[in-house]
Structure 1
């Protein structure tokens, strides 16, 4: 994996994947005591960054003549794979957790994919999905997936000048590892910091202990970040390049969602709000810096929005 591979992925997926905008808010910057430039992946095709990796991987699978693909997802990866499958004329089956958000299930089905509910953790659904017939599309542990996600990092470098820090949500580590490669192999001086829910801190614990740590099932509202252990392929890249991992509480995630909704008129899902929570919660302990938080998704069940409110 390299910056060259990420650049090739960018050219390949460009017909479908948007270059998402950078959003600014004077009030957000003032509250954070830094200049904040929000990378709006919640405005991406299918509502999250996941389409980047899915298109890069599924296009490769389709070129090899495969006709059926399988994915395991809390929602956003499933939507992206379902969309990619429809784009290339493949049949997709998506294994989702028993408590998957209804809007995410509805969106997956709208793209023509089959749904199977199984388990609650990423480990459970991934292991089950691998038993099904078809080509498995990993949510993060795959070079093509990681390279696709890294294209968000390339865009950030083009869109924002003189960056000091990039903040990235972390679950399995696909987005984080891809962005790390894109940014650190271009400008190592830019700090990249992972943001994670405090009650789903497998990457934090793994980073501190310098080995992959399994934490079991978690109940964070950031359902896209409910991984039990960092990826086998993603974690070595995280170890090599990441500058730090910070944790945010459930209440801080909710407050960040509310700020984005009330002040910036943006609907952001809990997993996408962790970077904003880190900024508002002063987790970085810096001032006067140019910071780019990636807001990774916006697929929220509006009928259950009261559960997310502080």
Structure 2
């Protein structure tokens, strides 16, 4: 039900890093994001009774589309709560897949709270965007494909919000090829998993936003956090300027429009955050659902850190 997406080398990133860099292009996945993998895996395991109650979910955008598509395929009614700040491209696509979309709050956490409140009223079956083993197992298939496509990888970079993709990647990699390093990346302005991983205090600022809205989760999952602490090698952060310049890099040099979450992972290579010992790195470009109306803002944010034409 999902695509086996390409994993291609980037000659420009090879030159910048002095090593081999592969891009796992989940922006070319169905619904434009890896999230459909976990959604299909979870919903395929629901009982007839659970499906009959209907589905309810909360999402910053990409999980919504995956759930909506999976529910359409199975004929299950679905209601999805999304932040009011969600890019219109994600909202419109979710509605086109047949979901009843409710826009609530300024961020994922507020939309999530509203969805749980509604679930108590309706009794619908909740499909969590990341803190669920079936979701995590579905996301793990990204890394499984990467290890088959690029057997010489020694490092995999994973964009991280609630932690489902990072947890799934770590479980798969450490089972199949434990010597490969798994490194999560978060936006610097909203980085709870990085703080937990490094055992530092994290103070959430509900007024801060990030260009990587797909990984803007202030309360990560309990299950995902436990897995990450046990199996992930490192979690680092990148700045808004680095994310913005990476969006422009992907557009101008790789001829692909990717969203901020995927660009955050690219920023690790583009801005020299890779481990010095890495010789073959896989980067998960997690999604391509970018709001093109924000390109001008993206260019302004990137100004001063890198000139797009200089790549």
2:109 is paired with a residue of what secondary structure? helix
Task: Choose which of 100, 108, 112 in structure 1 pairs with 2:94.
Answer: 108
- How big is each residue's C-alpha offset from its partner over 1:148-193, in whole Å with a ceiling of 9 and x where there is no partner? 0011111011110121100000000000000100001111100000
What is the CA–CA distance in structure 2 between the aligned matches of 1:138 and 1:283, rounded to whole Å?
A: 31
Aligned CA distance change for structure 1 residues 59 and 288 (closer, same or farther; 3 Å): closer
What's the TM-score once normalised by structure 1's chain length? 0.91
Name the counterpart of 1:11. Answer: none
- How big is each residue's C-alpha offset from its partner over 1:112-166, in whole Å with a ceiling of 9 and x where there is no partner? 1111111123222212111222111101000100000011111011110121100
Say if 1:210 and 1:239, in contact at 8 Å, map to a contact too.
no
Name the counterpart of 1:43. Answer: 28
Say if 1:165 and 1:193, in contact at 8 Å, map to a contact too.
yes
2:46 is paired with a residue of what secondary structure? helix
Alpha-carbon shift at residue 210 of structure 1 (Å): 7.4
Alignment of 1:249-264 (within 5 A): 249-264=239-254
What is the CA–CA distance in structure 2 between the aligned matches of 1:64 and 1:93, rounded to whole Å?
A: 17
Alignment of 1:1-310 (within 5 A): 16-61=1-46, 63-64=48-49, 66-67=51-52, 68-132=54-118, 133=122, 134-209=124-199, 215-217=204-206, 218-286=208-276, 289-309=279-299, 310=302
Structure 1 gaps of 5+ residues are 1-15
- How big is each residue's C-alpha offset from its partner over 1:1-43, in whole Å with a ceiling of 9 and x where there is no partner? xxxxxxxxxxxxxxx1111101222112101222001000010
Say if 1:33 and 1:288, in contact at 8 Å, map to a contact too.
no
Structure 2 gaps of 5+ residues are 303-311
What's the TM-score once normalised by structure 2's chain length? 0.91
Aligned structure 1 segments of 4 or more residues deviating by more than 6 angstroms: none
Alpha-carbon shift at residue 74 of structure 1 (Å): 1.0
Alpha-carbon shift at residue 62 of structure 1 (Å): 5.4
- How big is each residue's C-alpha offset from its partner over 1:274-299, in whole Å with a ceiling of 9 and x where there is no partner? 11101111112416610000000000
Say if 1:34 and 1:287, in contact at 8 Å, map to a contact too.
no
What is the CA–CA distance in structure 2 between the aligned matches of 1:78 and 1:70, rounded to whole Å?
A: 10
- How big is each residue's C-alpha offset from its partner over 1:192-224, in whole Å with a ceiling of 9 and x where there is no partner? 00011111111111111179x562423111001
What is the CA–CA distance in structure 2 between the aligned matches of 1:227 and 1:90, rounded to whole Å?
A: 27
